[in-house]
Amino acid sequence: MTTLTHLDRLEAESIHILREVAASMQNPVMMYSIGKDSSVLLHLARKAFYPGPIPFPLLHVDTTWKFKEMIAFRDALNDDPQTELLVHINQEGVEQGIGPFTHGSAVHTDVMKTQGLKQALDKYKFDAAIGGARRDEEKSRAKERIFSFRSAQHRWDPKTQRPELWSLYNARIKPGESVRVFPISNWTELDIWQYIYQENIDLVPLYFAAERPVVERDGIMVMVDDGRLPLEPGEEPMMKKVRFRTLGCYPLTGAVESSASTVTEIIEEMLRTTTSEREGRAIDKDAPASMEMKKQEGYF
Amino acid sequence: MDGYAAPDFANIEEYLDSQLKKSLLRFITCGSVDDGKSTLIGRLLYESKMIFDDQLASLKNESKKFGTQGEEIDFALLVDGLAAEREQGITIDVAYRFFATERRKYIVADTPGHEQYTRNMATGASTADLAIVMIDARKGVLTQTRRHSFIVSLLGIRNVVLCINKMDLVGYDRDVFDKIEADYRAFAADFGFENIQAIPVSALAGDNIVDHSENTPWYDGPPLIEYLDTVEIASDVKDQPFRMPVQWVNRPNLDFRGFAGQILSGSLKPGDGVRALPSGKSSKVARIVTMGGDLDEAVEGQSVTLTLEDEIDVSRGDVLCADKQPAEVSDQFQATMLWMSDSAMLPGRSYVMKIGARECQMQVTEQRYRIDVNTRAHEAAKTLDLNEIGIVNIALDRDVAFDAYQDNRRMGGFIVIDRMTNETVGLGLINFALRRASNIHRQSMDIGKELRASMKGQKPVMLWFTGLSGAGKSTVANLVEKRLAAMGKHTYTLDGDNVRHGLNNDLGFTDADRVENIRRVGEVAKLMLDAGLIVLVSFISPFRAERRIVRQMVEDGEFWEVFVDVPLDVAESRDVKGLYKKARAGEIKNFTGIDSPYEAPTDPEIHIDADRLSPEAAADVVIARLEQAGLIGS
């Protein structure tokens, strides 16, 4: 008799959720951030609908400041007949020259990511956006529903979220309203890595340690991914063996020194590590409840 | 830390493979405010190294700012996630936490203890295998402990860990512990718990969490984590036959037709007979398809795609069952219902039920009684308010497949959704099918509505006059009926006041009674339609939901909503029966427009501006519209 491991059960739950979204929403989309959680989500979606194609498109909201290797990895999806990839860039933001150095990380993230996402959802009239957020990432996410209800203005109100019982998801909405759906809510970072190892899932090479040019700022190592990074006087990029624990806009994503160049080495490093995943993200540092505020404003 | 030997990094792959084989345990923590639930969970995360240095640093900062433990780390701050909660010092919603030991991965539902959030407890309990019930050693078993245990038991949890917390504050006194355990076992005797393990702990000081505490030498049971790691969790559906609600019909091309779903119970092999419910059609499993290759066997918990040997009609919402042990099918049930909304559950109102992958319309036909969650006493009540539990009879608009919740948690639980707001307003547990539906078959009649109507030379139609008291509904209806009679039509008028003197003389003016009032009148009017009559109904009928139910009872085009529209101040100034005056004086309660709402039709068939039109002119409008629609000959 087959006995299921914790990964088997997490996988089965996620597949169930993905099928519920596809079956009960009119026009769902899967947010594709190119990171490891997105790669796991994409793998789960392929499994959920095999042998058929994934019945919803993937959407990448491109802030124009992503690592080059991320974009190359993303664009390779265009060769896959089972997936449809949409890319959205906030053109108004581009025209205004919004960037992390000129406007600061808060404005950059709000305009290019949060506003860009809302634009894309409105443009394509998606009524469900599937995301790879996990409840273990951050305290305000621990209370997030799997089907997270959003008003017509894309706002999240922690007080109006619907109770979720058993695996019965209430997907009913009125015109203009939408849901965000988080199929891997119950996974932890370790589960993700164990699953990547077990299923041999392909990742952006940035997750693995390599010699990369970095500068150190405010205790965060920033990779010099292109010529747009303004160097301070006397600042000299150094080659260091680094990798990234999360991926985002390169100027806002801290690298960690590491020699882990395989999935097993990463897991080994993780088991020894004493710093949580979001530490490398500049976005959380502003205020204790900053993620909660961003969520209410419509950040994923 | 004992029990958490550092992984053997020399052989990382072997270690990893062993890590992939953990089992999963979901549990809920419940207890009263300040029993220390959040502290306990914070402690579990800390002990299992799920708290990182940076989180610990930020925790130390926050402990000084918000904490209740002075210079000590306040573990509760780790889990009280939302900013609003941190300010109030209470948790207000279900939060999910994760930690892992060498043997198991844990998902913890952290639910708040206040009375008003009973629904959150039920939410957390619905997916849990085990409940940790927290008791403050200084306070013992409280009313809230009883309520939480009742809800846990109701939702089918059979394993309870009784964490008697704050033992440090009672001097680790064994007598205190023994007395609380005995009290708890006595009152929980008929809750159907299979295991109750009492453990003396201090979440704050860490006693009996990971290791046996030196402070409780008299306790010879396991510490908490050891117990959680080793407790046998009999799957709640261990001996149940195969069940899989179909979520998705996978049809990538003409050669493949697969039925995708998650197996709720039982197991399955290719060649096994399956039956699709509610249709009852049988076939055999051809393949169990997954991306990793076809399976020889699929078991409870897996998400799979099945192909069948025969082309039988199966769609989303149907349930595939073991052919020899199919689920039951019915459209009427007795169920236990927990209400989760501020607007009360009203018998007769139409709601949406979601069970498995199916949504259907449901009504509570009758509430048998309400259960006091503290004493479990039965109380007479027709409606349910927020956080109340009742035993109800339910009728659906179609057959669904189910098993009793007691036998199969995953096949007998449903949620209730409000049709207007789309909020999840209730949960239900099916107790058993009511046989009425299947035993009272509709008698099929040789003489039908069409024949009866054609003998009268007319088309049956229901004219539903709605509007405020004093708007002139009955006056207009009376004039319309006179015109129809003059045209030789066969009619009947049901008038609100008249019906309340007879058929509905047992009903008052509460929301629940208003709903039942309309339901009965709708049924009577429907019988009259069936007799071939033109039926005029003159009722305030203030709620949209009920008017919509009547509309749905009859065939398309038979229900005509006639909105007799006057502003409230005009109706009140007319006050033909002197009722508004009494209502304003407080002598009449629940008077529509004064202290009970009137929900105006959004899209009535006929909208009469009765402020401007005379009753005669209004009747002309109605007759003209019926002629235009070809319902009455001119």
Q: Do B19 and A194 lie within an 8 Å CB cutoff?
A: yes
> Which pLDDT score, from 0 to 100, does residue A287 have?
42
Q: Span B113-140, mean pLDDT? A: 86
DSSP E strand boundaries for B372-423: 378-379, 389-402, 413-417
As a whole number of angstroms, the distance between CA B510 and CA B513 comes to: 5
> Which pLDDT score, from 0 to 100, does residue B353 have?
97
Lookup: tokens for B14:
């072997």
As a whole number of angstroms, the distance between CA B113 and CA B540 comes to: 43
Residue B330 DSSP label: E
Percentage of chain B lying above the pLDDT 70 cut: 88
> Do B496 and B623 fall within a single domain?
yes
Residue B440 in this model has a pLDDT that exceeds 50 = no
> Which pLDDT score, from 0 to 100, does residue B578 have?
86
Residue A152 in this model has a pLDDT that exceeds 90 = no
Backbone angles phi, psi at A298, to 5 degrees: 115, 0
For B13, the closest chain A residue by CA position comes to A264
Q: Do B354 and A168 lie within an 8 Å CB cutoff?
A: yes
As a whole number of angstroms, the distance between CA A42 and CA A54 comes to: 9
> Do B212 and B284 fall within a single domain?
no
Residues A154-193: pLDDT tens digits?
888 766 778 899 999 999 999 889 999 999 999 998 899 9
As a whole number of angstroms, the distance between CA B237 and CA B149 comes to: 21
Nearest CB to B422 within list A8, A22, A172: A172
> Do B307 and B341 fall within a single domain?
no
The residues of B annotated as belonging to the active site are 541
Residues A94-125: pLDDT tens digits?
999 998 888 888 899 889 998 999 899 999 99
Residue B395 in this model has a pLDDT that exceeds 70 = yes
Strands laid side by side in the B159-165 sheet: B95-100, B104-110, B23-30, B130-136, B159-165, B195-200
For B127, the closest chain A residue by CA position comes to A166
> Which pLDDT score, from 0 to 100, does residue A300 have?
56
Looking up tokens 């009955």, which residue turns up?
B474
Q: Do A15 and B303 lie within an 8 Å CB cutoff?
A: yes
As a whole number of angstroms, the distance between CA B547 and CA B541 comes to: 7
Buried b (16+ CB within 10 A) or exposed e, A73-102: bbeebeeeeebbbbebbbeebeeeebbbee
DSSP string, B204-239: TTTBTTSS--TT-TT--S--HHHHHHH-----TTTT
Lookup: tokens for B325:
């042990």
In a domain, B381, yes or no: yes
In chain A, domain spans: 6-191+289-297, 203-283
Residues B148-158: pLDDT tens digits?
899 999 999 99
> Do B202 and B137 fall within a single domain?
yes
Boundary residue ending a domain (B405, B439, B473): B439
Q: Do A19 and B52 lie within an 8 Å CB cutoff?
A: no
Q: B143-154 and B174-187 are packed helices; what angle lies between their axes, rounded to 10 degrees? A: 50
Mean pLDDT value across chain B? 86
> Do B208 and B357 fall within a single domain?
no
Q: Span B564-577, mean pLDDT? A: 88
* Lowest-pLDDT choice from A17-26, B235-244, B616-625: B235-244
Residues B318-328: pLDDT tens digits?
999 999 999 99
For A141, the closest chain B residue by CA position comes to B81
Mean pLDDT value across chain A? 87
* Lowest-pLDDT choice from A152-161, B82-91, B167-176, B569-578: B82-91
> Do B208 and B97 fall within a single domain?
yes
Percentage of chain B lying above the pLDDT 90 cut: 52
> Do B18 and B155 fall within a single domain?
yes
- The counts of H helices and E strands in chain A are 9, 10
Backbone angles phi, psi at A249, to 5 degrees: -75, 130
Write out the residue range of the structural domain in which residue B27 sits.
9-230
> Which residues of B carry a binding-site annotation for GTP?
31-38, 110-114, 165-168
Q: What is the number of other CB atoms lying within 10 angstroms of the CB of residue A159?
A: 8
Q: Which of A215, A206, A220, A298 is nearest to A260 (CA)?
A: A206
Q: How many domains does chain B have?
A: 4
Cis upstream peptide for B278 (omega within 30°): yes
Residues A213-242: pLDDT tens digits?
999 887 889 999 988 888 888 888 999 999
Q: Span B255-275, mean pLDDT? A: 96
Lookup: tokens for B182:
């005995």
> Do B26 and B75 fall within a single domain?
yes
As a whole number of angstroms, the distance between CA B305 and CA B320 comes to: 12
Boundary residue ending a domain (B381, B412, B439): B439
> Which pLDDT score, from 0 to 100, does residue B63 have?
64
Residue B551 in this model has a pLDDT that exceeds 70 = yes
> Do B80 and B216 fall within a single domain?
yes
> Do B405 and B258 fall within a single domain?
no
Find chain B residues with C-beta within 8 A of A48's C-beta: 260, 303
Residue B68 in this model has a pLDDT that exceeds 70 = no
Looking up tokens 């050669």, which residue turns up?
B255
Cis upstream peptide for A237 (omega within 30°): no
Find chain B residues with C-beta within 8 A of A220's C-beta: none
DSSP reduced 3-state for A9: helix
DSSP reduced 3-state for A61: strand
The CATH superfamily of A6-191+289-297 is: HUPs (3.40.50.620)
Percentage of chain A lying above the pLDDT 90 cut: 60
